[in-house]
Chain A
């Protein structure tokens, strides 16, 4: 039950994009097409879950025993950057067409603060390993959900009569704000 609460909370109630406003750069940048948004969301979910898992292990099995907790941000950034590099090399080797298609997303994942946010929050919330895994998975799927909804709305907005001054980033941010308000409705869920 506890795990379900953590999952639902990360997915809907404390959604990383619409509650914490983390990962806004790829959220705005890659949400103009539904298919690109979906790819980005999946790639982020995968990297986020692995990064949180590895970061948790490094923190509790290396930094805590040697009293090096002050290095957590540096080490987590290194873990995320290295993981993205490994994923990039791996995809390039095994599937060149996928690598070509993902080319733009991978650098964006490295600089996605939502991934660092998940790793830091798991330490802050003192989650155990399984809770970390479920939390990261929920956060990643929450990111995917938010970016896919946003992409759907933005595709519809292409046909809307938006005032000239609000076109582009303006209407996107207003939409994100309204979406965040809608997600506030989940607050009383758990």
Chain B
């Protein structure tokens, strides 16, 4: 997986906040203003090598794990929405307008994704970017 560089601006507990350096390829990107590094935003990363403020570090984002979690969450939300809609429309337990019933059940069911997302796997420390090494200490 690709390593990226950034400068640590704050250290807090086992985490470090860093400003990523933009790769050369980003120079012509139309969306660069939205990017974290370009908007002055900070990235929270696991600080395993003990980087200090001002250090230039190399970090890695575990995209595949993030994608898997995002896929699980989106798929669960969609399935719940679909299940609620079909149940409300065809079975219509409330005995009201089928479309209204479908809508209410679809939205109600999709809200179930909230408790689901509270599962530990979606907020695990392992999902954060990880600082791999300190490239240059602040002098």
Q: Is the CB of A128 within 8 A of B123?
A: no
Q: Mark B41-72, 1 if CB is under 8 A from A, else 0.
A: 10110000000000000000101101101110
- Residue in chain B with minimal CB distance to A35: B63
Partner of A95, one of B71, B82, B106, B127: B127
Q: Mark B88-116, 1 if CB is under 8 A from A, else 0.
A: 01100000001110110011001000100
- Tell me which of A57, A60, A91 has the highest count of chain B C-beta atoms within 10 A of its own C-beta: A57
B21 at the interface (CB under 8 A from A): no
Q: Mark A104-115, 1 if CB is under 8 A from B, else 0.
A: 100110000000
Q: How far is the CB of B58 from chain A (nearest CB, A)?
A: 18
Known contacts A104-B35, A137-B78; is-contact A96 B99 (Cβ 8 Å): no
Q: Is the CB of B70 within 8 A of A43?
A: yes
9 A-B contacts (beta carbon < 8 Å): A42-B75, A45-B74, A95-B73, A95-B123, A100-B43, A101-B70, A102-B70, A103-B36, A133-B106
Q: How far is the CB of B109 from chain A (nearest CB, A)?
A: 11
Residues on A close to B: CB < 8 A?
Answer: 28-30, 35-36, 38-39, 42-43, 45-46, 49-50, 53-54, 56-57, 60-61, 90-91, 94-98, 100-104, 107-108, 128-130, 133, 137, 168
- Residue in chain B with minimal CB distance to A96: B123
Q: Is the CB of A95 within 8 A of B122?
A: yes
Known contacts A53-B85, A98-B70, A129-B98; is-contact A108 B78 (Cβ 8 Å): no
Q: How far is the CB of A104 from chain B (nearest CB, A)?
A: 5
Q: Is the CB of A129 within 8 A of B103?
A: yes
Q: Measured between alpha carbons, how far is A96 from B99 in the docked complex, in Å?
A: 36
Q: Measured between alpha carbons, how far is A63 from B24 in the docked complex, in Å?
A: 50
Partner of A61, one of B29, B100, B123, B124: B100
Residues of A within 8 A of B103 (CB): 53-54, 56-57, 61, 129
Known contacts A90-B117, A94-B118, A98-B66; is-contact A46 B85 (Cβ 8 Å): no
Q: Measured between alpha carbons, how far is A50 from B99 in the docked complex, in Å?
A: 15
Residues of B within 8 A of A38 (CB): 67, 71
Known contacts A129-B102, A130-B89; is-contact A108 B74 (Cβ 8 Å): no
Q: Is the CB of B99 within 8 A of A129?
A: yes
Q: How far is the CB of B113 from chain A (nearest CB, A)?
A: 9
Q: Measured between alpha carbons, how far is A108 from B31 in the docked complex, in Å?
A: 9
Q: Is the CB of A97 within 8 A of B128?
A: yes
Known contacts A49-B81, A129-B85; is-contact A60 B34 (Cβ 8 Å): no
Q: Measured between alpha carbons, how far is A135 from B87 in the docked complex, in Å?
A: 17
Q: Measured between alpha carbons, how far is A54 from B64 in the docked complex, in Å?
A: 31
Q: Is the CB of A29 within 8 A of B30?
A: yes
Residues of B within 8 A of A108 (CB): 31, 34
